[in-house]
Amino acid sequence: MSNVKVAVVFYSMGGTNYQLAKWAAEGATEAGAEVKVLKVQELAPDSVIEGNEGWKATVNATKDVPVATSADLEWADAIIFSTPTRFGVMASQMKQFIDLQGGLWANGKTINKVVSAMTSAQNPHGGQEATLLSLYTAMMHWGAIIATPGYSDPVVFGAGGNPYGTSVTVGQDGKMIEDVQAAVKYQAKRTVTVAEWVKKGNQ
């Protein structure tokens, strides 16, 4: 049984990254971790959300999910992020959440957190890898330990073969094109394993 604490932190507009976050939570829980699923604060005005049925549905579906805080990150041994791709970088909502962690960072509270990330986009080459790298750049500043899936398990190939983290293409109908559930769960379990090693080494 793991004693690792995992925060799965997501932003989702159409529901895809919420689903990725739920699968990651299942994988981490199956690995024995204690898990919190958390969303980042929405920044878009209600008037814009109201005009988009899919976005509005996601807001309603996630209304009971707690908003992530600095205290949640401090609590966690590992953090799994899930964010849509926006022009090849993470969504601004996720970026703001990361930007607000200056206090944690200044006090050394982000050092040795084990982190991993997932993303989605409407095109297979719509910037998914660049999005994950943009998030990992911030994590290097945090002094975090980045746990990517690499090509460490065949399920990575089955999900499209992104070594930086699971990514999925979403069609015009809002549905995922690749089957990534197994890859997400594997990535979460790998993150828990690395966090166990780090935690054991620190004791």
| 2 pLDDT higher than 90 | no
% of the chain with per-residue pLDDT over 90? 92
| 34 pLDDT higher than 90 | yes
In degrees rounded to 5, what are phi and psi of residue 136? -65, -30
Beta bridge partner(s), residue 84: 120
pLDDT tens digits, 64-101: 999 999 999 999 999 999 999 999 999 999 999 999 99
Domain ranges, ordered by start, for the chain? 5-202
Per the CB < 8 A criterion, the answer to whether 120 and 58 are in contact is: no
pLDDT tens digits, 115-155: 999 999 999 899 999 999 999 999 999 999 999 999 999 99
Q: Which of 7, 14, 6 is closest to 122 using CA atoms? A: 14
Mean pLDDT of the chain: 95
The dihedral over CA atoms of 184, 198, 4, 61, expressed in degrees to the nearest 10, equals: -40
The band of 203, judged by pLDDT with boundaries at 50, 70 and 90, is low
Query: What are the CA-CA distances from residue 197 to residues 10, 47, 147, 185 (Å)?
Result: 25, 47, 12, 19
3-state helix, strand, coil in the chain (%, to 5): 45, 20, 35
Please give the helix or strand (H or E) that residue 119 lies within, else none. strand 114-121
pLDDT for the residue 9: 98
Q: Which of 9, 20, 146, 145 is closest to 70 using CA atoms? A: 9
pLDDT for the residue 201: 87
Per the CB < 8 A criterion, the answer to whether 83 and 116 are in contact is: no
- 86: region left, alpha or beta (phi > 0 left; psi from -120 to 50 alpha): beta
Q: Which of 91, 185, 195 is closest to 146 using CA atoms? A: 195
Per the CB < 8 A criterion, the answer to whether 35 and 76 are in contact is: no
In CATH, 5-202 is 3.90.45.10: no
What is the value of pTM for the model shown?
A: 0.96
The conformation of residue 124, written as its DSSP 8-state character, comes to T
The band of 1, judged by pLDDT with boundaries at 50, 70 and 90, is low
